[in-house]
A and B are shown apart, each in its own frame.
Chain A
């Protein structure tokens, strides 16, 4: 029997199978799990509730003792107020362009590189992999200025290019992540495919990619989030106010001498978070392993 078929046959949706054959001990386990998770969730959400509570307050009410959870007046108005304080619509557009560009670039490049490190043998493989990891080890503070000069010499400052382009060349974090996932896929599958005459790219695209949906979804989630929330990148490269991103916009709410518009800052922060959360929620479907592999034969 073809190994790939065996493997594929076992990858049934776990949810369907488990639900109908739950034994009593499983139910008990689920109940305990539920209690623990619910409890931890409350702790996790605690600061978030505080953010929401603050967002709905008047600025003078933000800091009171004893802390007041429900504001005396629910200022839902703070949300539109925060969002119209600055051209957040424009910022949203800019941030979206940058983020989706980065997402595309990362998804196109990192899997290819990761596949090489996971499955293609070369003498230079280990030293190069260490080099990949090494690029994560130098703090950005000391490479920021030379990097800026590089883009300045290419006349690309005050554009989105420095923020999007590097993603098309892979990111060390994602290369490492995908490499780990690729390594968990049995090499026998690739070997069998090779015997059948498949080229490396076909092995990559027809075996490795489909089997790595959760990993790819994870890369997408992380890339989206890190670019959506990126502060230093836009700060350094973007000067014109029309090119600003959401994070830069958020920074406009702060100022010293205790003059931060807390309620507006929290309101705007919560709204900014929403797309990442939505993406995550919908990416959940890739976290249920479905039936995969349509077969290696071309």
Chain B
């Protein structure tokens, strides 16, 4: 009798351990890839032999009504050009994109091409061996390819000399202008020439905004939608990230912790942004911005006259009764002694390191990024710019009616924005930035709510940021 009881308990234990063990065994990916080394592209397999059956590849993308229709059409065109390749799209809501990708990858069924997702930690994926390095593909292309692509697009995701991802679209930074509001107040338009060494200064922005602000009517002259310390440090002439870290893709420290000049730039820049709301009073407070923003995008409704943000400020439907323009970023620092931040956004495509169809995946990537027929499709659904130099002008021309600016000015503006840019934003290209960004966001909230000064907030957040970086490096064993 005792014996049977033992057996039953043992059976239970055995059963649980077996299933647990099976799961643990499969939780570790089959191939061990040390963090720094990344699998190379194998010699192209004999795709000619398998030409009988079309090769199927999968591409994963975030859910977004316009982007999804765009991708569906891109796939149709692509399959028309390449009858030997079938493409299947997987749509995942923004916020669930990364968890789903991680889950699929670790169980060995990741999509071949990673499209745009939610948090987009492109380099985090690279450092963990989830992506194929694209140098061999790019080098195999004709020189037309590398000459036609904007350098900032090609190199934005180059880390340690290796190309981790290929940008396929560019979104410029800028000050986006509601021209109607300017007209109503008879204020001259802001400058549009990125190549002009003078540009305009932060103080000039404030002065312009003052003429366009009427707080009682809930109309403001300016909204600095960028709130990250990274932007303001660069605008005030310094950088929170060291050159070595940009090059390696691994974040080791926040320069403001050790370099006084960077520290001062950071504090001054953040304070300047806070001042737009509480001292200069040309920008809406977070609460008001939140309220107004829910009624409709503030720039489009005219609640603000200028918005310092990425190009998406003028995407999508534009109200017919308003006119819009673009303008260059101001130079930060005192009297414009800083820079225009010199950044763009460049969303890339990545190829899964475990793909069984690398060549086909590359064909899809280059199609979406560089081929004119693909870019024409993209232009139907989106206003983000292509990375291809040769197509840029015609792309802008096709959409020229969106902005109330002569076409030459638009081309000059966009080209200038792309060409003077040095980098894309840190959360796409630095390992360990995600938590630092959250630390910054929560700490600076007190500043934006006028509860603390910039210096207090910076002193509070720098040690926390460093602690987060250190914890991250420990986990990655770097």
A residues whose Cβ falls under 8 Å from a Cβ of B:
60, 63-65, 85, 144-146, 148-150, 152-153, 157, 232, 235-236, 239, 241, 251-259, 261
Contact = CB atoms under 8 A, between A and B. Distances in A.
A235 B92 contact: yes
B27 interface: yes
A255 B65 contact: yes
B64 A255 contact: yes
B145 interface: no
A236 B90 contact: no
Q: 7 shortest A-B CB distances, which residue pairs?
A: A255-B64, A152-B107, A63-B295, A251-B93, A146-B23, A149-B26, A252-B63
Contacts of B294: 63
B31 interface: no
Contacts of A146: 23-24, 27
A254 B68 CA distance: 12
B91 A241 contact: yes
Contacts of A236: 99-100, 103
Nearest to B102: A145
Chain A CB count within 10 A is highest, among B26, B64, B94, for: B64
A131 to B, nearest CB: 11
Given A150-B22, A241-B89, A258-B293, 6 more contacts: A63-B294, A146-B27, A157-B107, A252-B68, A255-B66, A259-B316
A255 B62 CA distance: 8
B109 interface: yes
Contacts of B477: none
A254 B107 contact: no
B343 to A, nearest CB: 18
Contact of B103 (A65, A148, A153, A256): A148
B215 to A, nearest CB: 16
A251 B97 CA distance: 12
Contacts of A255: 62-67, 94
Contact of A63 (B66, B103, B296, B312): B296
B106 interface: yes
7 contacts: A64-B295, A85-B65, A150-B19, A153-B23, A153-B26, A255-B66, A259-B316
A254 B93 CA distance: 8
Interface string B41-69: 00000000000000000000011111110
B34 interface: no
Contacts of B316: 257, 259
Interface residues of B, number: 36
Interface string B261-298: 00000000000000000000000000000000111110
B141 interface: no
A149 B103 CA distance: 8
Interface in B93-143: 93-94, 96, 99-100, 102-103, 106-109
Contacts of A261: 65
Contacts of B96: 232, 235
Contacts, number: 76
A259 B65 CA distance: 8
A258 B292 CA distance: 12
A63 B109 CA distance: 42
B22 A258 contact: no
Contacts of A60: 296
B106 A149 contact: yes
B10 to A, nearest CB: 15
Contact of A235 (B26, B93, B108, B312): B93
Nearest to B19: A150
B11 interface: no
B189 interface: no
Contacts of B109: 152, 157
Contacts of A256: 64, 94
B21 to A, nearest CB: 11
A65 B295 CA distance: 8
B107 to A, nearest CB: 4
Contact of A254 (B63, B106, B295): B63
B23 A235 contact: no
A145 B103 contact: yes
A283 B67 CA distance: 42
Nearest to B68: A252
Contacts of B108: 152
B344 to A, nearest CB: 17
A140 to B, nearest CB: 11
A149 B107 contact: yes
Interface in B286-315: 293-297, 312, 315
Contacts of A252: 63, 65, 68, 91
A47 to B, nearest CB: 15
Contacts of B89: 241
A149 B23 contact: yes
Given A63-B296, A64-B295, A251-B93, A148 B65 contact: no
Contacts of B62: 255
B23 A150 contact: yes
Nearest to B23: A146
Contacts of B103: 144-145, 148, 236
Contacts of A144: 99, 103
Nearest to B315: A257
Nearest to B300: A258
A99 to B, nearest CB: 21
Contact of A251 (B24, B63, B293, B296): B63
Given A63-B294, A236-B103, A241-B91, A145 B65 contact: no
A65 B301 CA distance: 12
A145 B106 contact: yes
Nearest to A145: B103
A239 B89 CA distance: 9
B90 A239 contact: yes
Contacts of A232: 96
Nearest to B310: A257
B65 A253 contact: yes
Nearest to B313: A257
Interface in B304-338: 312, 315-316
A153 B23 CA distance: 9
A101 B194 CA distance: 62
Contacts of A148: 103, 107
A255 B63 CA distance: 6
Contacts of A241: 89, 91
A257 B312 contact: yes
Contacts of A257: 312, 315-316
A56 B19 CA distance: 51
Interface string B62-98: 1111111000000000000000000001111110100
A150 to B, nearest CB: 6
A163 to B, nearest CB: 15
B297 A258 contact: yes
A235 B27 contact: no
A166 B90 CA distance: 26
A232 B103 CA distance: 13
